[in-house]
Amino acid sequence: MRLSRYFLPVLKEDPAEAAIVSHRYMLRAGMIKQASAGIYSWLPLGFKILRKIENIVHEEQQKAGHMPMLMPTIQSADLWRESGRYEDYGDEMLRIQDRHGRDMLYGPTNEEQITDTFRAHVNSYKDLPLTLYQIQWKFRDERRPRFGVMRGREFFMKDGYNFDLTKEDALHAYNRHLVTYLRTYERLGLQAIPMRADGGPIGGDYTHEFLVLAETGESEVFYDSEVTDIKLGNRDVDFDDKAQCQEILEEFTTRYARTDETHDEAIFADVPEERRRSARGIEVGQIFYFGTKYSESMNATVIDENQKLVPVHMGSHGIGVSRLLGAIIEASHDDKGIIWPEGVTPFHCGIVNLKQGDDEADAACEGIYSALTKAGLEPLYDDRKERAGGKFATMDLIGLPWRITVGPRGLKNGVVELTSRRTGESEEMSPEAAIAKVVEIYANL
Ligand code: 5CA
């Protein structure tokens, strides 16, 4: 992409309404535009990152055998009356009437809708286990939408639902989700710690939230500092192996880590004092096992091996996909702007031409641009007739992890400059060497 043709409405000034850094940078970098309180348009740069995160979420779900589908955003109130949640959900639910006076709602989550799909098509234990998921917009009429995409009213969520014959199988589905979530967050360059939490309006008392530690987080959390040393890494996981998934769950959840909803001072006191931490965190996901809560009220039953009709065991599992953009920025930025991890960066490498219009500099930039493109990467070439300072400021703000700077002076010596956004370190090398290095960085991801 050439910046001269891209829609990147960068703001020079800090927007007054943005109280935290991620919101400020998302507005300044032209990623989002507020449409109304807690509701945003996603401009090309923001949309590109949203799609990248979405793709990583899809990949990790499908590795575990979970099947993507898509449900509507507008749901019938009658389904929610069956489960009893139509009244229970309260003011967060956006209630709508259609032209025939029928009660509808904009889905804040989809347990009822998926249970209705399940009961229409599945009757036998032979069709289990089954895990379906979607990535779809949700609406919750939050009392205090704030911090941009962090607490939106309209937001993008991955929501997955498992259907199992037994509690044991459903807990295996829970463990599978825990493992896929850990992997997903690690690929996004985040450490998200699973913590015991509260079921809230979804229900169930067995639930973990995934928290990214950040001062601006909305949740108060308490944990044993040892939990921050554990990584999933690239270990091989067999998602059919119940014992292995259970072991991973235990590895990540045995040490004390709880949100304030379930925090227990007496148990926390058993953690050695030097490892006791309290901090703030951003909730980027939550997994639930709630047994037969929905299947009983909505008659989602199957015939078991003994020809007996039994309600299925269920859980639901959510990732805040749009919130993740904010969480990544909170975890990865400096005073000049965003620093995208390589796994989600909107463009792989920036190319800055210090003297647009200089034949040699233009030709070198074009050469780098086409070589990176041919290697399957997406560079962003700042080909505007701007001053170098302005070009650097834009690149730093939008946070591409790598930048190649090309100018007539360097070219005289046969070199360009390759700069890491994270460390700020620059290295001079031939254009070919810079291209090869960038290609190698992404090949190793
Ligand atoms: N049905 C379950 C799991 S599919 C569910 O709705 N869980 S949830 O309520 O915990 O939401 C899942 C994730 O969505 C949360 O962990 C959070 O990361 C994200 N989320 C929730 N509310 C908002 C909001 N107002 N703005 C942005 N993201 C949100």
Per-residue pLDDT, 254: 96
Nearest CA to ligand 1 atom 13: 320
> Which pLDDT value is given to residue 241?
98
Q: From the CA of 201, give the closest atom in ligand 1.
A: 9
Atom of ligand 1 nearest to the CA of 111: 1
Residue 219's identity, in one-letter code, is S
- Tens-place pLDDT, residues 216-251: 999 999 999 999 999 999 999 999 999 999 999 999
Class of domain 3-337: alpha beta
3-state secondary structure of 4: helix
Cα 238-242-247 angle, rounded to 5 deg:
90
* Architecture of the 347-443 domain: 3-Layer(aba) Sandwich (3.40)
Higher-scoring residue by pLDDT: 243, 444: 243
SS3 call for 127: helix
Q: What is the pLDDT of residue 386?
A: 95
Residue 366 reports pLDDT greater than 90: yes
What confidence score (pLDDT) does residue 99 get? Answer: 97
* Per-domain boundaries in the chain: 3-337, 347-443
- The residue whose CB lies within 8 Å of the most ligand 1 atoms, and thus the one to mutate among 136, 157, 328, is 157
> Ligand 1 pocket: which residues have CB below 6 Å?
109, 111, 140, 142, 151-152, 155, 157, 159, 202, 283-286, 316-318, 320, 322-323
Averaged over 408-433, what is the pLDDT? 98
Mean of pLDDT values over 160-184: 98
Residue 93 pLDDT > 90, yes or no?
yes
Give the pLDDT confidence score for residue 372 in this predicted structure.
98
Distance in Å, CA 166 to ligand 1 centroid: 26
| pLDDT at 204 (0 to 100) | 79
Question: Out of 3-12, 198-207, 371-380, 392-401, which region has the weakest mean confidence (pLDDT)?
Answer: 198-207
Distance CA(248)–CA(257), nearest Å, equals 15
Amino acid residing at 246: Q
- For ligand 1, the distance from its centroid to the CA atom of residue 175, given in whole angstroms, is 19
Task: Indicate if the pLDDT at residue 203 is higher than 90.
Answer: no
Measured by CA distance, the residue closest to atom 6 of ligand 1 is 109
Q: In this predicted model, what pLDDT tens digit does every residue of 263-309 receive, in sequence order? A: 999 999 999 999 999 999 999 999 999 999 999 999 999 999 999 99
Ranking 10-24, 30-44, 127-141, 367-381 by mean pLDDT, the lowest is: 10-24
φ, ψ dihedrals at 330, nearest 5°: -60, -35
Nearest CA to ligand 1 atom 29: 320
Helix and strand totals (H; E) in the chain: 14, 23
Q: Is pLDDT at 199 greater than 90 in this prediction?
A: no
Alpha carbons 260 and 253: distance in angstroms, whole number: 16
Which residues have a Cβ under 8 Å from the Cβ of 16 and sit 6 or more positions away? none
Separation of 317 CA from ligand 1 center, angstroms?
Answer: 9
- State the distance from the centre of ligand 1 to the C-alpha of 278, rounded, in angstroms: 23
Q: Whose CA is nearest to atom 19 of ligand 1?
A: 320
For ligand 1, the distance from its centroid to the CA atom of residue 138, given in whole angstroms, is 9
Checking if the pLDDT of 29 tops 90, the result is yes
Assess whether the region 3-337 and the region 347-443 belong to the same CATH fold.
no
C-alpha of residue 265 to centroid of ligand 1, in Å: 27
Share of the chain above pLDDT 90, in %: 96
233: Cα within 13 Å, side-chain hemisphere? 5
Q: How far does the centroid of ligand 1 lie from the alpha carbon of residue 319, in Å?
A: 6
